[in-house]
Every structure is written in C-alpha cells, then in structure tokens.
Amino acid sequence: MTPIKQIPIADRLIVALDVPQASEARALVEKLGDSVQFYKIGLELFMAGGYFELLDWLVAQQKKVFVDLKFFDVPETVRSAVRALSSSGASFATVHGNQAIMEAAVRDKGALKILAVTVLTSLDRGDLDDLGFACDVEKLVLSRARRALQTGVDGIVSSGLEAPMIRRELGDRLLVVTPGIRPVDNKPVDDQKRTVDVAQAFRNGADYIVIGRPIRQADDPRAAASAVQRTIAEVFS
C-alpha cells in the first residue's frame, strides 16, 4: 500500500448521486445520514435542473462535493468554468482533455482540486480500438497520468486495475480516485468493465473510491454504505 495521506477515513468513500432528480438525490443523502461524507454529482443531475442548488445544499450539510462534469472545451472556457466553480465549496472537479486544457483548469482553481480523467472504467481494449487508440489501456492511462502530473493537476480518475502501475511509476504525487468499485460480483447488465472491490482498490493505491449503484440500489443503502466504511477502516487500521 502507498503511504497514507492525511485523509479522514470516512471521506475516502464517495457516493455517486447518479439519479434523475435533485429531490431524489437529497432523499438519498438524508437516508444515508452520517454513513457518507462525500458525494459525486454528475451529468445526469446537471441536465435535470437544480444542480447548483443541490451543490449548495450539500455544502450546507457539511458534505464534501465532487463535481464530475469532465470539462472539455477551449482552454479559456475551461479556465473560466473552473474559476466560477472555485467559490462554490466543491472539493473536486474533473477535466478530460489535453495538456492545454489541464493547464487552464489549474490556473484559477483556488482550493478546488482538479482531477484529470485517464480512461473511463466502462472502456476496455475493444472500445479503445473503436476510438482509434493504437495502444493498450495501461499505456494510455500512464501517459495521461504523467501529463496530468506535468500540468499541475491534483490527481487523476483511474481504475483500480491501473493504480498499482501509477504508484510504481509516479509514486504518491497524485491523488488517485477510483470508480468502478464493485463490493460484490458485477452484474451482467452493469456497464462497468474494469472493476475491483473496495479493499483491493485501496491496496492497489487508491486514495478515494466512488461507488454508485451497489449502494443506491441496495435494500438498505445506509447499511451498504456502513459496510463499505468498515472495510475501508479495516484496510487502513
């Protein structure tokens, strides 16, 4: 395991609020209570309306917020978007672009931590072929991680499968946020392809994990989140 950063144990679990309406997101947050301290809000909620009101509400509830909108645009537009977001109280935001975009994103970020997306956990080798990338997943992830480090972003979003390689090559200089976490066997209908379980993600080098459906769709979401938190505590004990 990599050296332990000064991250509160309870903050290492980020729950993805990938639900159709802001009201549904609030209801889930209230149901989860103190079992979760960190939430990701992404494109689905952004398109549903009430996104920034939800962000403000989460911050007022003393929750940490990961804005996962994967900014990808003209560098100056990305810089302006990050600057506007920097005063919102959000903790993390994602960018998904080239060196100029990442450099622009960090220019006026303030205390907001910028995460560069490497390769989506829903993609595998066949998908990269379709997209025209003539390299394997590991090489592409490492290339993007190195570029992220050079441009001064705070961390990356990476599968737990590639985290050991990132730690071996780049050490502890980047935060690693790992989605595609499956506490139990992946269901055939699931669109995540490159997955690991909770303990393995952290042992591989993740600083944070993102979990959505396994908690949201559990019979008792709060119990499911609490079980994940216990596993995390055991890993870092």
What's the rounded Cα separation, in Å, for the pair 210 and 71? Answer: 19
Tokens of 234: 């055991």
Catalytic site includes residue 70: yes
Q: Given CA atoms 8, 10, 15, 21 in this order, what sign does their dihedral have?
A: negative
What's the rounded Cα separation, in Å, for the pair 3 and 100? Answer: 31
Where is 71: in which H helix or E strand?
Answer: strand 64-71
What's the rounded Cα separation, in Å, for the pair 102 and 94? Answer: 10
Going by C-alpha positions, the residue among 121, 218, 230, 221 that lies closest to residue 177 is 121
Catalytic pick among 31, 70, 113, 139: 70
Where is 227: in which H helix or E strand?
Answer: helix 221-236
The residue length of the chain stands at 237
Where is 166: in which H helix or E strand?
Answer: helix 163-170
What's the rounded Cα separation, in Å, for the pair 91 and 35? Answer: 19
What's the rounded Cα separation, in Å, for the pair 172 and 174? Answer: 6
What's the rounded Cα separation, in Å, for the pair 47 and 69? Answer: 11
Residue positions annotated with a catalytic role: 70
